[in-house]
Amino acid sequence: MNYYAGNYDVIVIGAGHSGIEAALAAARLDCMTAIFTINMDSVGNMPCNPSIGGTAKGHLVREIDALGGEMGKAADACTIQSRMLNRGKGPAVHSLRAQIDRRRYAEHMKHVLELQDNLDLIQAEIIDIRKNDNNWICTTKLGAEYETKAVILATGTYLGGRIFVGEVDYEGGPDGMFPANELSKSLNRLGIKTRRFKTGTPARVSKASLNLNKLERQDGDEPIIPFSFETKDKIENKTVCHITYTNLETKRIILENLHRSPLYGGKIEGIGPRYCPSIEDKIVRFSEKERHQIFIEPCGIHTEEMYLQGMSSSLPEEVQIKFLHTIDGLENVKIMRTAYAIEYDCIDPIELNATLEFKNYPGLYGSGQFNGSSGYEEAAAQGLIAGINASLKIHGKKQIIINRSQAYIGTLIDDLVTKGCADPYRMMTSRSEYRLVLRQDNADERLTPIGHEVGLISEKRWNDFLNKQQAKKMEIKRLYDTVIAPSKQVNDILEKYHTAPLVTGARLIDLIKRPQLGYDQLKDIDINRPEIDNMVKEHIEIEIKYEGYIKRQQAQINDMQRLENRLIPNDINYDNITGLRLEAIEKLKKWRPMNIGQAGRISGVSPADIQVLLIYLSSINK
């Protein structure tokens, strides 16, 4: 027997990385919010790798923080090792990645939710959602009915979850949790079509069973750079990681047992992630390779579980044991948690607007892996935007859209809602055409004004941001105004770094532009240097050295923005536009782009179609 359990402004279904950011944003923006989880012990869980950040993903975490989200602060509080990836490449692709104490992270996030005003954390499975006049009704398995103005679906891999290990498969969620089976049926009754995606996770093994002497040691960076612009406390490396490799014997065992893989045996229907394949998939797809790299990463400080990054598998348990024992350092390894694949329901994200609200279901939002993406960081980014927009709509304000030129978050969402995804979407720096501008060091400069305008950035943090911008401006002016005269001491330093000596005076800003020089190399020349934050220093140096490239990219952004500003009416009839190709008409009717820029990114809509569309819009706007 169902009963009325109360009402909320916003209900978030799922308390993973996406749901957490959505719920916190909504509650902090003065909406009475409830977040539901099947199991309270799975809040903020990291069912796959015990890390946050990485290539492009580190950018997302910085952007989440710049907008007022929580992931960066939590990651800093729970970091056990940190490294800046791609140091040998340009600053556009420098990405922070931290090993995280996964249990501490989950406890941290759960406590943040518990302490948040306007927010109730509830253990219950939502099995049905339906529309009731202007509101939504969410029903739990125990019969409680909650009324709400907005629902955010952040179901992760729980929705219709099914676990696969060799010939064995069963209904289940990640890490041995229960799946959410009824909610998919409810969505289908609403008219929302779901599809099957698949992901997997490697085995966790006992540290005591590893031969560390046969593994390559990988230490963290010193000093550690935090994710959050607000983190002031020093973060320390507390552990090390290790590296090893598969070999030809590993490959032989996997190939001999490939017929027992549910992926190749046809049992798994869901589409797996292209950029994070299982070890058996890598062996097949890259058959010419004799070995594959494995990163051995601690799951936390107070556990002996080690994560085998790069070794996800759905082969039978006994086969997993056999091929792991062929690897250097893992000859006697003991598995604590068997690797598995998980298949789950998600939607085609082209059903969503760029606000992450369903086009045909006002007040209903999709977020994270429910939208077809993969990864904690991608999920958290979408959750933050969904939570912000649900709140803004409830308060009668205009919802925000982060565009491609503003953030990787904008690129992520635009790719999902404009192009859709044929497999689990993963953020990469190559997906952005503006990555020199969208660096991780300037995320606050790009997005903190938006976070402040929305209401997620406190006045103290806003004033700190303004002071930082002023300090940056003054330092650039000082570098421009300060002239260094030639002298033996100066030229000895310049020759030390293999750059030309001075014949006449040179401004500090011009010396920094030299490829061999930077702030650190000029410390003995720049004797009047003020104390300046290392992150600000890095930001200034990048802007000075890459000034010409940045200006060129900014011009491209300005051109693109003009197309983004050309809005397309919601009621436009593409069938009536003479000159559009049939394929373009079909795609435009299906995707219903909001503006010309978005229309131009739809596969099958050509530049010629865009010109026709621009001429038509000009004619109706006269």
Q: What is the DSSP string of 485-516?
A: PP-HHHHHHHHHTT-PPPSS-EEHHHHHHSTT
Give the Cα separation of 162 and 172 in Å (integer).
Answer: 5
* SS3 per residue for 205-257: EEHHHCCHHHCEEECCCCCCCCCCCCCCCCCCCCCCEEEEECCHHHHHHHHHC
Segment (H or E) for 204: strand 204-206
Closest to 197 (Cα-Cα) out of 249, 268, 149, 109: 268
Phi, psi of 206 (to 5 degrees): -80, 130
The pLDDT of residue 102: 97
Angle separating helix axes 102-115 and 17-28, nearest 10 degrees: 20
Closest to 22 (Cα-Cα) out of 4, 2, 7, 37: 37
Same domain, yes or no: 360 and 436:
yes
Same domain, yes or no: 353 and 331:
no
Q: How many folded domains does the chain comprise?
A: 4
Closest to 416 (Cα-Cα) out of 369, 376, 384, 377: 369
Domain boundary among the residues 343, 361, 396 is at: 343
Q: What tokens appear for 293 in the block? A: 């790299």
Same domain, yes or no: 293 and 398:
no
* Any domain includes 462: no
Same domain, yes or no: 53 and 181:
yes
Same domain, yes or no: 380 and 403:
yes
Residue 588, domain CATH: 1.10.150.570
Residue 285, domain CATH: 2.40.30.260
Structural domain including 523 reads: 471-551
Same domain, yes or no: 265 and 326:
yes
Residue 159, domain CATH: 3.50.50.60
Phi, psi of 210 (to 5 degrees): -90, 145
Contact between 161 and 259 (Cβ < 8 Å): no
Segment (H or E) for 62: helix 57-67
Calculate the CA dihedral of residues 442, 447, 451, 457 and round it to 10 degrees: 10
Distance of CA 543 to the CA centre of its chain: 25
Same domain, yes or no: 176 and 60:
yes
Q: Quickly count helices (H) and strands (E) in the chain.
A: 20, 22
Tokens 């131009």 map to which residue?
Answer: 600
The pLDDT of residue 622: 61
Distance of CA 225 to the CA centre of its chain: 18
Give the Cα separation of 191 and 180 in Å (integer).
Answer: 18
Q: What is the mean pLDDT of each run of 10 residues along the chain (622 residues)?
A: 95 98 98 98 94 96 98 98 90 93 98 98 98 94 98 97 95 93 95 94 97 96 94 95 97 94 78 81 90 96 96 95 98 97 95 96 97 96 98 97 95 94 91 92 96 97 95 92 91 91 92 90 84 85 91 90 87 90 88 88 88 87 68
Give the Cα separation of 22 and 11 in Å (integer).
Answer: 9
Segment (H or E) for 599: helix 596-600
Same domain, yes or no: 327 and 268:
yes
* Any domain includes 460: no
Q: Is 300 left (phi over 0), alpha (psi -120 to 50) or beta?
A: left
The pLDDT of residue 618: 86
The pLDDT of residue 288: 92
